[in-house]
């Protein structure tokens, strides 16, 4: 019995060593497909130039190749097989990536060059996962340091993750021909919507008819004089978006506490005037509407 336990422990240790010896998140085939597509398709680099950078690649030779491609594109030079090989030779980097044989192999490994943006998305996601892993490892190491303050470490982790998230959202420059094609597709979708809104409903039909609902990447500013109802309208938008479009909504306020926001929304749901809820001067016959309103709010993704 003891021998069995020892063997089991030994194999468990081997499994753990195997788990931690794995390479960080990466996709060799996706990286090869991106580079191969760029070498084959003159328009491929433009499609992914705002999506990934040299750091997005895990394999060192792929970083070297992509840098040569980026340099050529920045100089308005072709990014085909011959041009990239010539640039790598001039930089004395051709042997580092496996020579012309590997460049040729890249072009043979990609089946559909037009799918370069799909391959690049995979590469980007793997890069983001590696960065998350690095942040996690740094948090783990710092946690063992006796001089580390918990609050400061948490703030650092949140800041790093936020920075990573923002870098993941960047768009960069785009050529007008690419944007025009996407715009035509969006207009086609609008023409086929058959009365349905393409965006998130504000809950106000006249407004939605003019905008098609709140659209992705929109920045909407409510402007008016003080005490004109801007906050109430904004909360109405948030409430209606969660209720009708079933989308998660986040509310950040510098002037109201979470309880004050909840009171306003309870007023929306219950139909009881806000001043009555705020001062707890609710008629006896209306008290049951408060827990009912709270229950409905609890079911919304706010």
Render 280-291 in DSSP notation, one character per residue.
T---GGGTTHHH
131 is catalytic: no
Rounded Cα distance, 34 and 118, in Å: 9
For the purposes of burial, counting CB atoms within 10 Å of the CB of 113, is it exposed (0-12), middle (13-18) or buried (19 or more)?
buried
Whether the CB-CB separation of 70 and 88 falls below 8 Å is answered with no
Q: Give per-residue burial for 79-107: e unless 16+ CB within 10 Å, then b.
A: bbbeebbebbeeeeebeebeeeeebeebb
Rounded Cα distance, 294 and 60, in Å: 56
Active-site option among 169, 255, 285, 292? 255
DSSP type of residue 190:
H
Active site residues: 255
């Amino acid at each position: 019995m003891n021998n069995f336990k020892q063997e089991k422990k030994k194999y468990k240790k081997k499994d753990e060593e195997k788990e931690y010896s794995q390479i960080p998140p990466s996709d060799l085939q996706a990286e090869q497909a991106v580079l191969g597509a760029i070498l084959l398709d003159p328009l491929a680099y433009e499609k992914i130039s705002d999506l990934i950078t040299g750091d997005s690649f895990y394999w060192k030779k792929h970083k070297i190749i992509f840098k040569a491609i980026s340099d050529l594109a920045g100089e308005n030079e072709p990014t085909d097989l011959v041009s990239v090989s010539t640039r790598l030779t001039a930089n004395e980097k051709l042997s580092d990536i496996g020579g012309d044989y590997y460049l040729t192999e890249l072009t043979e490994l990609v089946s559909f060059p037009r799918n370069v943006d799909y391959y690049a998305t995979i590469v980007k996601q793997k890069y983001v996962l590696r960065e998350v892993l690095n942040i996690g490892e740094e948090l783990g190491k710092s946690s063992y340091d006796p001089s580390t303050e918990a609050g400061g470490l948490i703030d650092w982790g949140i800041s790093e993750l936020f920075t990573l998230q923002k870098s993941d959202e960047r768009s960069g420059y785009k050529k007008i021909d690419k944007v025009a094609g996407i715009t035509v597709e969006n207009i086609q979708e609008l023409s086929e919507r058959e009365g349905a809104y393409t965006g998130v409903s504000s809950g106000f039909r006249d407004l939605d008819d003019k905008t098609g609902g709140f659209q992705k990447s929109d920045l909407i500013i409510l402007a008016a004089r003080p005490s004109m109802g801007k906050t109430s309208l904004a909360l109405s938008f948030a409430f209606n978006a969660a209720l009708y479009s079933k989308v998660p909504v986040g509310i950040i306020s510098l002037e109201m506490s979470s309880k004050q926001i909840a009171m306003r929304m309870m007023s929306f749901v219950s139909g009881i005037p806000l001043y009555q809820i705020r001062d707890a001067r609710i008629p006896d016959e209306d008290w049951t509407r408060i827990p009912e309103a709270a229950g409905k709010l609890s079911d919304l993704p706010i």
